[in-house]
A = this chain, B = another copy of it.
Amino acid sequence: MNMRTRKHGETALFGALSGAVRSIAYKSAAVVGITTFASAVLASAASAQPIRHDAEHYVLLHQYAEQWAAEDKELDRRLAEIRERNDGKPPNIVYILIDDMGFGEFGMPELNKIRGGRTPSLDTLAKEGMTFTRFYAENICTSTRVAFMTGRYAVRTGMELTKVTPPEGVGFNDKEVTIAELLSNAGYTTHHIGKWHMGDIKEAYPTNQGFDYASFPMHNQVAYSFLTRDAELDARTTSFTPTTVDPDYGLDKTFRLYDWVTQVEGKRGGKLREWGIKPGEKPDIEFYKRVNDRFQEQAVESLRALASGDKPFFLNYWPQIPVAVLRSTDDGGCQTPNCGRWANAMAVVDGYIGELLAEIKKLGIENNTIVMVMGDNGPMKQDLELSGYSEWLFRGTKGQALEGGHRVGAFIRWPGAIEPGSIAGDMVFVSDLYTTFARIAGNTDGIPRDRIVDGVDQTAILLKGDTNGRRDYVHLYEVDTLKATVKQNMKIHWPPPGVNPAMAEFYNLYWDPREDNPLKYQGVWAGTPFVRMRIQHLRMKDKWPDWQPARGMPYEGVENLRPETKAMVRTWLKIYGDARDVVLGVEAIGN
């Protein structure tokens, strides 16, 4: 038996567990007073009021609370040392979130060879930092972004539905305490550049969610790249443009709405201005390219401005490409031997990342800057055909509670803190970044205690390396339905309502990472603990229910709405206002 044993000394800890704990955890599938259970652990875990975690985390706290508390002291010393080396400043954080970058597509040269892809910048980041091999995002854009911003499953915030076609009139609730707010309160200057995708109403704008400055598209990038005349000609959308509406039978003239707000910028709490478009102008693929290039310029400009200040900074850069399904975003040639549309665009994004890394170096801030790059979910099913990518190491795509939907490429570099070229096999969920970045910035206390925060502090992985993770489970949702639960290397696919969980399929993800072959009798033992996990998770939601998203007037606070945008919103309000529970009247939009 030459298997490395985990550093936590779990055998001793298991032995020390009281019979009571075991009975809670394993004896009964029904919930044995989860509140009491949680409270007891919480009380013993720390003197300050602890974060209210999801149920399953307490099972680990029972086993590791003391060990982690001791380790936390060591980690705090390390963090203090790092701050001291950097004039007392906690590290800058540059967080780059890439659309649809499933695990294995990038940053691994062997696999790039197989795909005919090339990502030299990500390869460099991987070599100089840490590669995660088991990083779970949520399975769709909005949800992952919300989970990062709030440290919570998107479903808790009511933001589990992805909005694609504008306008929306729905968004991110300002009761949420975002990572930008936490970092801001810790003394960080905070900028957001690029995709936002969390609502087109005032309270959802990044400038009202903790960012000092933001430049962002009001909607999903689909509005630029699918819903255009180019898309129609490219046969990528069907009958979206006005010229293709059947004049005889296409009764509803509002089925397709145009003239939405494109991209805006503004400062904290202030008005937004739409930029880069003139009244009467119709976005096309060239427009999209110009906007994306401008976002990249703004990211570099932000980096320079932020680096010149005295404060630590948080630069949140979420490029819109590689989502670019129409044609390659370059001059029509191939960026890589793969030459698929998404692959080509990803090569451009890799160039963006390279430019930022070079700028960070040039600015002399490399040693006190965390750079993280990750995907927001797996590949997009609808885009597989011509994208140059496909389901690969994991089965499933964006939107699915399969590993292929959730497991993403993720790389983090932090010179002097994270060991170069390291690989972490620990399970990490995107919400953990919230808790971890807050800790690193010194503002764990700012994390709200009046709600469930799913994020687990994973600082130990960064500072101590592989096998120091504090998570061994994750619940996977599709929209508001719990579809799968992962614990260690076991996974259960929850059957639909009305089907006995005894019929559930189990997978051993080590044996079968693609979830192709459900276990036979070998998995049945896991039934009871998985059902317990599910019940406890859902029972906690009874006590701390999911929130509703905020609703409001689209585009409120945008000071230069184009006339055609105003007209479109008026139509929209007239037609859908009541049905969609929009709270403001048409007159609020002004002239």
Residues of A within 8 A of B (CB): 1-4, 108-111, 113-118, 131, 133-134, 330-331, 333-340, 343, 347, 351, 384-393, 423, 425, 489, 509-514, 516-517, 520, 522
Contacts and interface: CB of A to CB of B under 8 A. Distances in A.
A331 B1 contact: yes
Contact of A390 (B2, B4, B343, B512): B512
Given A340-B510, A343-B510, A387-B511, 14 more contacts: A1-B333, A2-B335, A3-B118, A3-B335, A3-B337, A4-B118, A110-B423, A111-B393, A113-B134, A113-B425, A114-B509, A114-B510, A339-B510, A390-B511
Contact of A114 (B3, B109, B113, B513): B513
Contact of A510 (B1, B333, B388, B510): B388
Give the interface centre of A110, A387, A392 by most chain B CB atoms within 10 Å. A110
A562 B340 CA distance: 63
- Which 10 A-B residue pairs are closest in the complex by CB-CB distance? A113-B425, A116-B510, A113-B133, A1-B333, A338-B510, A390-B512, A388-B511, A110-B133, A114-B133, A109-B423
Nearest to A422: B109
A514 B334 contact: no
Contacts of A387: 511
B390 A113 contact: no
A217 to B, nearest CB: 27
Contacts of A522: 386
A339 B522 CA distance: 13
Given A133-B110, A133-B113, A489-B116, A514 B392 contact: yes
A337 B510 contact: yes
A110 to B, nearest CB: 5
Contacts of A388: 510-511
A514 B393 CA distance: 9
A513 B111 CA distance: 10
Nearest to A333: B1
Contact of A115 (B117, B392, B510): B510
Contacts of A114: 133-134, 393, 425, 509-510, 513
A511 B116 CA distance: 8
B392 A511 contact: no
Given A110-B108, A110-B133, A133-B110, A115 B513 contact: yes
A510 B347 CA distance: 15
Contact of A393 (B389, B393, B423, B517): B393
Contact of A1 (B108, B335, B509, B514): B335
B347 A391 contact: no
Contacts of A330: 1
Nearest to A513: B114
Nearest to A388: B511
A473 to B, nearest CB: 16
B340 A391 contact: no
A108 to B, nearest CB: 6
Contacts of A347: 2
Contacts of A513: 114-115, 390, 392
Nearest to A403: B114
Nearest to A425: B113
A517 B393 CA distance: 15
Contacts of A134: 113-114
Contact of A516 (B117, B337, B391, B512): B391
5 contacts: A3-B336, A113-B133, A337-B489, A338-B511, A391-B514
Nearest to A108: B110
A133 B112 CA distance: 9
Contact of A517 (B1, B131, B385): B385
B517 A384 contact: yes
Contacts of A337: 3, 489, 510
